[in-house]
Amino acid sequence: MQPLKEYFMSSDTITIPGLDRPVSRVALGTWAIGGWMWGGPDDDNAIRTIHRAIDEGVNLIDTAPVYGFGHSEDVIGRALEGRRDKVAVATKVGLNWKDEKPFRDSTPARIRKEVEDSLRRLRTDVIDLYQVHWPDPKTPIAETAETLAALQKEGKVRALGVSNYSIADIETFRAHAPLSVVQPPYNLFERDIERDLLPFMIEHDMVGLAYGPLCRGLLAGRMTKDTTFPKDDLRSGDPKFQKPRFDHYLAAVDGFRAIAARHDKSLMALAIRWVLDQGPMIALWGARKPEQIDGVRDVFGWSLTDEDKSEIDAILARDVPDPVGPEFMAPPVRD
């Protein structure tokens, strides 16, 4: 059997095991659409954004209950009325919350409640890709996996995935349920998965769904040294966006921009293309306004050269010799 990266993947689409049709290698990420930690919701613009993404050929939408505590899923459900057959919907499970403070909870009871809530909010009878959002160290992974496998047999979900799991956790999960997708953080600045997780995914024919490929807007190319963030913005707590480290990252961004210009592409297109060129990956393109979908088509139909990749590595070594990861985003374990 050919490896997934050759058999299931083209420049523009990839097949997720368990789904009956290919999906675009750029998916719409909808954390910001939920509003929480992104300055509040804007539903009219959110619905127009979803429609614009579909019109641009994006046929995979990724969300989660915790994105606005159900609000993102609800908006997606409304936006997809009459269009549900055009897209695959991916959502998540395994986070609970109290007073808008999330914590990990992958117990069978929580999963059973969440899947029904998500189906209702998304206004659908099946979830195409159901992913465990974060590992829950207080619940055996076997219990979580077996519950999800049961949902798959019941026809409530089609394919299964995990996010933020270690290789050891993934191995345990795979012993109890089929696993199609791994969703890790991955971008030009956050590359930890290259050490072991990415080779493991390729070896075991799993698709990667990279979150944060634009590194929370840092690789969108619009920030300057004077850019600031309000207290309710996620980036106000991200070490990358604090002085003097912020200036170092922006220097690297300028270097990347020059490489993109040689290909007559935007910085965003380069950042996403780089992720896709690393293996069987899908990149999440986060947006909450229709104009933020502009440029998606520029991701397809080309690749970075080996020289480009070497230059990128040199820029990182020069400007960001001490990179930081996305660990600040990890939710706490439940009491």
Buried b (16+ CB within 10 A) or exposed e, 96-120: beeeeebbbbbbeebbeebbeebbe
Give every CB contact of residue 324 below 8 A, 6+ residues apart in sequence. Answer: 239, 240, 245
Name the active-site residue from 7, 67, 130, 165.
67
At 281, give phi and psi (nearest 5°). -115, 150
Phi-psi region of 35 (alpha: psi -120 to 50; beta: other; left: phi over 0): left
Amino acid, single-letter form, for residue 62: D
Q: How far apart are CA 27 and CA 210, in angstroms?
A: 9
**Within a 13 Å sphere around the CA of 63, how many CA atoms are in the beta-carbon half?**
32
Query: Computed from CA positions of residues 314, 249, 319, 239, in that sequence, does the dihedral angle turn out positive or negative?
Result: negative
Q: How far apart are CA 35 and CA 68, in angstroms?
A: 6
Q: How far apart are CA 282 and CA 284, in angstroms?
A: 7
Is residue 67 among the annotated active site residues?
Answer: yes
Give every CB contact of residue 291 below 8 A, 6+ residues apart in sequence. Answer: none
For residue 331, cis peptide bond before it (omega within 30 degrees of 0): no
Which SS3 state, helix, strand or coil, does residue 308 take?
helix
Positions annotated as catalytic residues are 67
